[in-house]
Structure 1
Amino acid sequence: MSRYILPSSESQRCLDRFSLLDEAEEDADGLCSLWRLIENVLDQPVHSSSDLSDVLSTISHLVRGSDGAAGDYGTLKGVVESIGESFYTQTWPQIRRCALDMPKVFANSSLDILEPGKRLRLSREQAASLVAHQFLCTLAAPSWRAEYYDFSIWYDSNQRHPVAAEIYITTVLTYFRDMSQLDGAVVLEYSLHALPVDFSSEQFLDAPLSPLTVTSVPQFTTELEELAFQQSSGAVVVSANKDIGFGQSATQEELFVGNCPEACPAVLVTPTLKPDQVLVVEGAAPMLRITGQRRDISWTPLPPEDRRGGRLLFMDALEIDELDADDGILVDLKPFSVDRELQKAYTAFSSWLQQSNSTVWTGLWGCGAFNGDPTVKMIILWMAASMAGRNLCIVCDASQEDFAQQFDEFAKSTKGGTVSDLQSILNSIPKTTERLHTLEHILSSQQASE
């Protein structure tokens, strides 16, 4: 099994660019232990935002030779200054402690990189240490990605979405400030799942359709990732990229991961998802309740008793704009597309033990930047939920109200059917139907047959 090497490993060595250590600590190649350098830098006092940026800049130059994406640290300094004295007396000491605990909590100084069927279980102490090092930017890039593995992307003054970057930094700092209020007995789990080799959708054709509800909300919120909302048997679909994780904007995936610092270490151990793979993260505590999406977002504090993480299903949909659609056929309706999305969803929905009244919550998965057709995608998710024995709840915001009403009408008319019935409905849609017009065709056909 491949491993991700942590900065506490003796194998991690670099130039002592600032002559922080005695020359005697250099090896024959003139390199020093990265960990000894980190310990030295973290001994520097931090009493101002400039002190903090000096520490982070020193680490960044040791690790990568420049400040990289962190730039001038302006956004980070602004958030820290808005917090005030409590950052230096409460938050920073916790970050420093968790970072320096790494050799104690990771005896092997490494992590197992996930493979299908494998799980990584971390104590809250271990997760906090990894998050601290993502904040300090001491970590090396995993072999499958060159960026978006630490939090330096949020630090520069120049941000594509300034509000989002400020929220994500606030989330991380809140996590460390209030760490003592979290349940220390919680075990966090990161698991990679692949479609069973003997899978065949044919064996599920007679399966009855699971209960489906369509819920309209004024705006999306991150409440869906909270355990109190999901309950222990539930889960929420994360509309993921194949390289999962956090980012600089405010997509659903970026909001859900950015709001759960303990979900962020998943980027260190999760290789690029293959077409039949999904990632599941359980127990990562959300810190805030974020409302809205993309440019219109705001947040409110989450009470400590609600900071319990549910189950996140990271599923990457087909990127329709990357596929050839010059033949006039709606890409979503091509057999390859339907099979791929059905297999992806089934893999996610069957990834945990069957429990009664188990509900999967989802937005319009794969229908934003990935340009999927909402009707086709939601029918596929309903098929997958029925095959896996899960209830399905589709959550739509105010901009999707018309679709919500029409799909709810369709769902009620199909109640009592089977997976085979939904497959027949998909097959009946003319392949040249334009995107966003598939539901209109289905409803018209149903009315004509009455």
Structure 2
Amino acid sequence: MPCSPQYVMSNGKPMWPIIQQSLVRLQQLSAARSVTYRDLESPPLLRIGSNRSLTMSQLQAASLLACAFFCLFPYRSDQAQSKEYENFPNPNFNRLYKSGSPAKIEKLKCILHYFRRITEKTPNGVISFRRYKLPDDSHPQWLNSRQVLCNLHLTTGKKIEDIDCVLQGGGVLGSGCVQEEIRFSICPEMLVSLLVCEMMKPDECIFLIGCERYSSYKGYANNFEFDNDYRDDTPKDNWGRKWCHLVAMDAIYFRNPSIQYDMKYINRELIKAYTCFRLRKVATIHQTLFGIATGNWGCGAFNGDKQLKDED
């Protein structure tokens, strides 16, 4: 628990009140009648079919995560989901507090460590969430393409966390604890996307830009464990965002793996990958473009064929 010796800060103060601070601040402003409309305004939602971005400070993200920690977002819990939000994930942490997999406790350790870090030193960076829909007139004509495939570099023995669920975050606030859930646990600012991003369609993707990593870990799935602090020294862009662009791109779950070789499903995965990696106006460092790093996207629990996905 946050009140245990393990969750006491270096100055001797317990962590439990730390998560409450941003909520108490709003209460104080309301009591003093100095709160403004913008203090209470909810962040804009990135809905299906839209091309728009949402940028906020890391401190604003922390306030939203404090609300999620105390399950304060209305109409978003599994039991009270309104039709307006039926295609949004539940951002409240209520499922994480229920009994179940030991990995839930380890994910909570990551989140509590995040609150400790941002309280010991207030972050001054910025994060962005961008939803992108491929224009209807930009769908590629694969049969007419003469584009040469780029080189692939395969690496073994290293870890990378992919996102392949139609609702970003997957089971991070439940019992899930594989690639996507691990990434959201060690980079808790990504959890804000559960609040603002609707589920993805086949020609859509979501960019999570600048989210900082706070925890190191060991193990995987039921053996996942919070390990220690992690200092993210990734440089920042001119906006103050970490140079880390993570793309949420959902793969098809194949209950019957043999059907993935049908052209209907191959075309769907091709469109998804093209939507995510299509060359657009992008920010660069030293006038160079970033490469793309991925694990076995859509394989593993989704039963995808690794060789087929490489060709996609």
TM-score, normalization: structure 1?
0.56
Give, in whole Å, the separation in 2 of the partners of 1:135 and 1:182: 20
For the aligned residue pairs, the C-alpha RMSD in angstroms reads 2.8
Stretch deviating more after TM superposition (131-140 or 82-91): 82-91
Q: Does 1:210 align with 2:150?
A: yes
Give, in whole Å, the separation in 2 of the partners of 1:205 and 1:211: 17
C-alpha contact (below 8 Å) 2:57/2:126 kept by paired residues: yes
* Aligned match for 1:332, one of 250, 253, 260: 260
* Aligned match for 2:282, one of 353, 363, 379: 353
The structure-2 alpha-carbon separation of the partners of 1:133 and 1:117, relative to structure 1 and needing over 3 Å to count, comes to: same
Q: In structure 1, list runs of 5 or more residues that go unmatched.
A: 1-76, 223-237, 381-450
The structure-2 alpha-carbon separation of the partners of 1:375 and 1:82, relative to structure 1 and needing over 3 Å to count, comes to: farther
C-alpha contact (below 8 Å) 1:181/1:304 kept by paired residues: no
More helix by share: 1
Name the counterpart of 2:94: 152
Q: Does 1:122 align with 2:48?
A: no
CA distances 1:234-275 after superposition (whole Å, capped 9, x unpaired): xxxx33311112232212111111221111111111112111
CA distances 1:51-101 after superposition (whole Å, capped 9, x unpaired): xxxxxxxxxxxxxxxxxxxxxxxxxx3x65252443982523331112234
CA distances 1:306-329 after superposition (whole Å, capped 9, x unpaired): 4857221111111221x7x8xxxx
Structure showing greater relative contact order (alpha-carbon pairs closer than 8 Å, 6 or more residues apart): 2
C-alpha contact (below 8 Å) 1:144/1:272 kept by paired residues: no
C-alpha contact (below 8 Å) 2:55/2:128 kept by paired residues: yes
| Cα distance, 1:147 vs structure 2 | 6.5
1:301-312 matches, cutoff 5 A:
301-306=228-233, 310-312=244-246
C-alpha contact (below 8 Å) 1:221/1:292 kept by paired residues: no
| Cα distance, 1:123 vs structure 2 | 1.1
CA distances 1:191-236 after superposition (whole Å, capped 9, x unpaired): 111112212323782223223100001x6356xxxxxxxxxxxxxx
C-alpha contact (below 8 Å) 1:101/1:129 kept by paired residues: no
1:138-177 matches, cutoff 5 A:
138-142=72-76, 143-144=85-86, 148-156=90-98, 158-159=99-100, 161-162=101-102, 164-177=103-116
Instruction: Indicate the percent of aligned positions where both proteins have the same amino acid.
Output: 25
| Cα distance, 1:187 vs structure 2 | 1.4
| Cα distance, 1:138 vs structure 2 | 1.1
Query: Which of these two proteins has the greater Rg computed from alpha carbons?
Result: 1
Name the counterpart of 2:165: 241
Q: Does 1:250 align with 2:177?
A: yes
Instruction: State how many pairs are aligned.
Output: 278
| Cα distance, 1:353 vs structure 2 | 0.9
More strand by share: 1
Give, in whole Å, the separation in 1 of the partners of 2:91 and 2:181: 13
1:190-209 matches, cutoff 5 A:
190-202=129-141, 205-209=145-149
C-alpha contact (below 8 Å) 1:99/1:130 kept by paired residues: no
* Aligned match for 1:313, one of 226, 242, 247: 247
CA distances 1:395-438 after superposition (whole Å, capped 9, x unpaired): xxxxxxxxxxxxxxxxxxxxxxxxxxxxxxxxxxxxxxxxxxxx
| Cα distance, 1:189 vs structure 2 | 0.4
| Cα distance, 1:345 vs structure 2 | 1.0
C-alpha contact (below 8 Å) 1:121/1:188 kept by paired residues: yes
Q: Does 1:377 align with 2:300?
A: no
1:215-230 matches, cutoff 5 A:
215-217=155-157, 220=159
TM-score, normalization: structure 2?
0.78
C-alpha contact (below 8 Å) 2:89/2:194 kept by paired residues: no
C-alpha contact (below 8 Å) 1:187/1:283 kept by paired residues: yes
Give, in whole Å, the separation in 2 of the partners of 1:367 and 1:98: 40
Secondary structure of 2:282's match? coil
C-alpha contact (below 8 Å) 1:105/1:126 kept by paired residues: no
The structure-2 alpha-carbon separation of the partners of 1:169 and 1:104, relative to structure 1 and needing over 3 Å to count, comes to: farther
Give, in whole Å, the separation in 2 of the partners of 1:318 and 1:188: 28
Q: In structure 2, list runs of 5 or more residues that go unmatched.
A: 27-34, 77-84, 235-241
